[in-house]
Chain A
Amino acid sequence: MGRITLDKVTKSFGEVNVIPPLDLTIEDGEFVVFVGPSGCGKSTLLRLIAGLEDVSSGQIRIDGKDATDMPPAKRGLAMVFQSYALYPHMSVRKNIAFPMKMAGLPQDEQDRRINAAASALNLTAYLDRRPGQLSGGQRQRVAIGRAIVREPSAFLFDEPLSNLDAALRVGMRLEIMELHKRLDTTMIYVTHDQVEAMTMADKIVVLQAGYIEQVGSPLELYHSPRNEFVAGFIGSPKMNLLRGEVAAQHGAATIGVRPEHLAVSTSEGQWPARVGVAEHLGSDTFLHVHDHGFNDAPMTVRVDGEMPVKHGDRIFLTPDPSKIHRFDKQGLRI
C-alpha cells in the first residue's frame, strides 16, 4: 500500500514561502514525477513527504494515517538521494543491511533480502566492496538496493540520475521503470529533466515557485498544457511561443506551435523565414529559424534528417492548424 495525500500543505523557511497551500493525492502503485526548474520547491516537497522537513501547516496522510508529525523512520518510506548517500565506511552488504539492522530483522531474513536485492540489481559480485570502490551506476544500484529491502510503502527518488553520465542515465532510467513494474509500489521521483519526467511517469506534477502548474499523464501535458509555462517546459525541443498579430489572428494573446508541428518548404508556405544554425542529429534535424517576422527570438523547427537545407537558406513554415495551442493574456489555455 502506498497512497499519499497532501492536504493544504505549506512550507516556509523564515519569511520565505517555499510551498503555498498545496493539495495532491498520489495513488497506490503510481509512478509520480515532480518536475520543474531548479528552486521550484520539488525537492522540498519530497523532503516534506519523507519527514526530513516539518510542514509549516497542513496535513500529510500515508495510507489514510496522519503522518504529519511522524519521524522519517516511522513513515515506512525509502529514499534514494541525489548523492546516493551510501555509508562510506560500510561494505555494500552492510549498506543494504543497515535499515534491516535498525529495524531488528532476524539475520536469516536479512540475508535472504540482501541476496534477492543483489541478484536483482546485479550487485552480487560487489557485496563485499566499499562504496568508494564502485562506479557511479553501481553506487546508484546499491542505494536502490538499500531502499528495496525495507519493502517500503513508497519509494522517494531525489534527482537520482543527475550525477550519472548520459549513457548510464538512460540505462538506469529503464532499470528504475522495470523495478516499478515488478514491485508495483508507489514511486515519487523528483527531477528537473522533463525528458525523464515524460519517459518515466504515470503522472507528472509540474511545479513552479511551489505552485502546482498542472498534474496529468505525460501525453495530457504534451497535448493540452494548461498554461504557457507547462507548454514551454514540457516537450523537447521547446514549443515556439508567438505573440502579437499572428496570435491575434487565432484569437489569442499567445500561440504555441511545437517544432515537430511545423511543415517546411523551400517554395511556398505561410511564414517566410531564413535558416540559421542547423543541428543534425541524424534521424532529425533541428533548424533554428530567423527573420520570421514575429518575435526576435529564433524559432525551432524539427525536420527530417535528410532535408537538404543550409545556413542562410530561405524557407517557408506552415503550422499544423490542429496542433496550435492558444493562450490568453494570463497565459492560460483557451
Chain B
Amino acid sequence: MARAVTNRRKLIVTVAAWAVGIAIFFPILWTVILSFKSEGDAIKTPLEVLSSAWTFESYATVQERSNYVRHFWNSVVISLGSTLLGLIIAIPAAWAMAFVPGKQTKNVLMWMLSTKMLPPVGVLVPIYLIFRDVGLLDTKTGLVIVLTLINLPIIVWMLYTYFKEIPGEILEAARMDGASLRNELIHVLTPMAVPGIASTVLLNIILAWNEAFWTLNLTAAKAAPLTAFIASYSSPEGLFYAKLSAASTMAIAPILIMGWFSQKQLVRGLTFGAVK
C-alpha cells in the first residue's frame, strides 16, 4: 500500500463493506439456517426461527423422498464428463492457436466465440427433436454432449489465454531436444499449464453444474441433475421450506466452495481474457 490510511477511515469502510457483504450473502445464509429447522419452525418470524431447535431431519427427508444422491451423481457425471471431454478436444486446439498462429487464427477464435452467443432457445427445437429420435433425451450422455459443445468455446479461449503466456521458446527447446509433438504436449506444455488448466476445469464444472436451460429441457427424471431436481420444488406441497432449504444447500454447497477457490480465474474465463 503506497498510502497511509487512517484507522478511522478504515473502520468506516470495514463496517460498510461487511454490511454490504452480509446483505448480499444473506439469502444463502438464511437458506442454510432454514435447512436445519423443522418445517413448522421454518415459516415462523425470523426471531422465532433463530431461537427454535436445530435438526437434521430435512436432509434425511430430502434423500428419502426424492433420492438426492442420484441427482447429485447425475450432476457430477454431467459436469465432470463434459469438462474432461471438452479439455481433450480443446488442449490441442488451443496449442495450435497459441503456438502456431496463422492468418486465420484470430477469425477462428472469434467464430468459436460467436457460437457461444447463439441463443440456446434458437436451436432448442431441432436439438430436442434430434435427441428424441436418437434416444438421447433424458440421458447423461446427451447432456454431456450438449454441455461439452456449449462450453467448448470457453474452454478453448481460457486455455488459449493461458497458453499464450507460456514462452514459445520452451516448446522450441523441447523440439530441439528431440521431443515429438505428443511428448511436447504431454511432458512440457501440459505440466507447465497445470494452473491454467486447473482453473479452466474449475470454471467449467461450475458453469456445467449450474446450467439450467438444457438440463431443464432435455431431462425428465432419470438423468435430471440438481438444477432440474430443485426445479421440482417449484410447485409447493404443504410445508416444504426446510426441505427446499436442505435440498438447495446440498445443491449449491460443492460448487460454492469450488467457486471461492477459483474466483480470480473466473474473471478471466468469463470475459474471454478481456479482463485479467
Contact = CB atoms under 8 A, between A and B. Distances in A.
Interface in A60-104: 71-73, 77-79, 81-83, 85-89, 98-99, 102-103
B176 A50 contact: yes
Contact of A89 (B174, B179, B191): B191
B178 A52 contact: no
B183 interface: yes
Contacts of B172: 50, 52, 72, 79, 81, 85
A325 B55 CA distance: 99
Given A85-B170, A87-B170, A98 B177 contact: yes
B188 to A, nearest CB: 6
A73 B174 CA distance: 9
Given A89-B191, A89-B192, A99 B170 contact: no
B132 interface: no
B180 A85 contact: no
Interface residues of A, number: 22
Nearest to B194: A89
B175 interface: yes
A103 B177 CA distance: 8
Interface string A146-162: 10001000000000000
Contact of A85 (B167, B183, B191, B194): B167
Nearest to A103: B178
Nearest to B191: A89
A54 to B, nearest CB: 12
Contact of B177 (A52, A71, A83, A146): A146
Contacts, number: 63
A16 to B, nearest CB: 14
B175 A73 contact: yes
What is the interface of chain B mostly: helix, strand, loop, or mixed?
helix
B196 to A, nearest CB: 13
Contacts of A82: 169
Nearest to B173: A85
Most central of B177, B188, B192 by chain A CB within 10 Å: B177
Given A83-B167, A85-B170, A87-B170, A73 B192 contact: no
A78 B179 CA distance: 13
Contacts of B173: 79, 81, 85-87, 146
Interface string B146-178: 000000000000000000000101101111111
Interface in B21-67: none
A102 B177 contact: yes
Nearest to A77: B176
Contacts of B183: 102
Contact of A87 (B175, B176, B188, B194): B188
Contact of A79 (B167, B176, B180): B176
Most central of B169, B173, B179, B187 by chain A CB within 10 Å: B173
A52 B170 CA distance: 12
A81 B176 CA distance: 11
B192 to A, nearest CB: 6
Interface string B192-218: 101000000000000000000000000
Nearest to A47: B172
A11 to B, nearest CB: 16
A78 B176 CA distance: 6
B178 to A, nearest CB: 4
A37 B120 CA distance: 55
A102 B176 CA distance: 10
B192 A87 contact: yes
B239 to A, nearest CB: 56
A102 B179 contact: yes
Contacts of A88: 170, 192
Nearest to A152: B176
A52 B191 contact: no
B47 to A, nearest CB: 56
A99 B177 contact: yes
B188 A102 contact: no
A20 B217 CA distance: 63
A78 B191 CA distance: 23
Given A73-B175, A87-B174, 8 more contacts: A52-B175, A52-B176, A72-B172, A73-B177, A78-B176, A79-B173, A82-B169, A85-B167
6 contacts: A78-B176, A87-B191, A89-B191, A98-B177, A98-B179, A99-B178
Interface of B: 167, 169-170, 172-180, 183, 187-188, 191-192, 194
